[in-house]
Structure 1
Amino acid sequence: MTRIALYQARSGIDPVANAERLVDAIKLARGQGAQMLFTPEMTGLLDRDRGRAGQSIRTEEEDVTLDAARKAAAKEGLWLQLGSLALDRGDGRWVNRSFVIDPAGHIVARYDKMHLFDVDLETGERWRESAVYEAGDSPVLAEKTAVGALGMTICYDLRFAALFARLAEAGAQCISVPAAFTVPTGKAHWEVLLRARAIENGLFIVAAAQVGEHEDGRETYGHSMVCDPWGNVLLDMGDKAGVGCCDLDPALIDRARAAIPALRHRRDIPAIDD
């Protein structure tokens, strides 16, 4: 068994305060026996006011949350999947970047969000991530972590099954889905999509999420979740911020894939000609 922890955060507009809360979560996770902690999308800063956010967003080398996370992971001897940070590329564009950090504090994998959230919701919410963020262009697999081979995705990526299939075909045993889901889309689709991605690929899905009413005025859905390879929900953290733990049994991966060998049966589907 591998014990993991999820940090369900209510990140605000002050990166220093967010970093302090993250360090507390790392300590708490380790104190509860976790070998790896997963955090949500935008752990270091959640601010939809782009003018104000731009005053806080830094390069990877200068980011206070990343620095604090690496030091805390090393101090506690804990693996960390830092869900994502908004970072400055140095050319006027930002990236939404996820990290895997080992127990020595070293960054062993980076992933830039590939699918950007450009939508108009019925509630009147309008999101245009592509206005300031540059999309990533390739999947990333962290081959050796506390949960085995870990595939990395971020939030809106959840809706693109082909990305999850590629990660599973590359050997992923677990896929992380750090998120800041809106409440309407969370209620409608969050659990069903997480369970579907687990079932389709016969692996664990670990999805740490933002929750509640944030300083920038937005509201996020929460319900940080862990699904096993058969689609069972092992953990649902509801609508409260905090740290939750869950035990993963890697034997469930082989069992699920033996029962439903979909990975071996997949075929390339040609395009349909008009």
Structure 2
Amino acid sequence: MKPYLAAALQMTSVPDLDKNLAQAEELIDLATRRGAELVTLPENFSFLGDEEAKFSQAEDIRAASEKFIKTMAQRYRITLLGGGYPVPSPDNRTYNTAILVNANGEELLRYEKVHLFDVNLPDGNTYQESARVTSGTAMPEVYRSDRLGQLGISVCYDVRFPELYRQLSKAGAEVLIVPAAFTAFTGKDHWQVLLQARAIENTCYMIAPAQTGFHNARRQSHGHAMIIDPWGITLADAGDTVGMAIAEIDPSRLEQVRRQMPSLQHRVFG
């Protein structure tokens, strides 16, 4: 691959499909005007805030989300990652799904989120993702691109499980993408350090699009969409407002770090 610009978009999605897609298109347009060739949307980019409403509209959200991702990729001639968004599952729940699409609108990768966020937080918020979401059963795969490098995808809560990223790096991943809607409570302490840890231990770039702000009266996301290099250095941080983190993915930097710190070659267990 040659050096290229990647964008991690940051949104404040709400329980309004049309409004969210309009916001996403505006950000995609801005990212491509700045030269981004790989653009990534956050988890729940198309609908966020009211879980019952999302579940009741799951098929409509799925259809609109997939059409949007493919249309935007073709229109702007980019590789675009979108997700997660709900896809109805056989057990009358949904899969939290992310897809990677090329500039021809062709699906390159599909991943159904494996780790589900079932947590009672000290701030009084309870998240029970498994109530409406079916856990995926397959490891995410790596997409090999001469232009963009070897890309691995995951979703949000996955970032707490290093074994998933180790498997991706063993499969050849050079760039790891983590679309997220990290809670404000956990994000302030854990978001950046987890992204840096995954980058450092796998000597990979991390691209982490994010949600920010309030999505309804109770749900608030941390923000800070980021791009982190293989040494763990934060190249771009979107802060806590709608916008993006944009930075160069440089193969020579990847090679330099892996040469200086060849830890992937020193694994003893797994």
Deviation at 1:48, TM superposition (A): 3.5
Q: Which residue of 2 aligns with 1:272?
A: none
Alignment pair present for 1:119 and 2:136: no
TM-score (normalised: structure 1)? 0.93
Deviation at 1:236, TM superposition (A): 0.7
> Mapping of 1:1-274 within 5 angstroms?
1-50=3-52, 52-58=53-59, 63-89=63-89, 91-139=91-139, 140-144=141-145, 146-215=147-216, 217-268=218-269
Aligned 8 A contact 2:70 2:105 in 1: yes
Off by >3 Å, runs of 4+ in structure 1? none
Deviation at 1:145, TM superposition (A): 7.0
Aligned letter for 2:15?
I
TM-score (normalised: structure 2)? 0.94
Deviation at 1:144, TM superposition (A): 2.0
Share of identical aligned residues, percent?
Answer: 34
Q: Output the CA distance in 2 between the equivalents of 1:215 and 1:161.
A: 31
SS at match of 1:20: helix
Q: Output the CA distance in 1 between the equivalents of 2:193 and 2:183.
A: 15
Q: Specify whether residues 145 and 175 from structure 1 end up closer, same or farther in structure 2 by C-alpha distance, changes over 3 A only.
A: farther
Gaps of 5+ in 1: 270-274
Aligned 8 A contact 2:227 2:246 in 1: no
Q: Output the CA distance in 2 between the equivalents of 1:14 and 1:101.
A: 24
Q: Specify whether residues 176 and 240 from structure 1 end up closer, same or farther in structure 2 by C-alpha distance, changes over 3 A only.
A: same
Aligned 8 A contact 1:8 1:242 in 2: yes
Aligned-residue CA RMSD (Å): 1.6
Q: How many residues align?
A: 267
Q: Output the CA distance in 1 between the equivalents of 2:147 and 2:42.
A: 18
Q: Which moved more, 1:40-49 or 1:191-200?
A: 40-49
Per-residue CA deviation, residues 186-213 of structure 1 (Å, 9 max, x unaligned), is 0111111101110000110000000001
Gaps of 5+ in 2: none
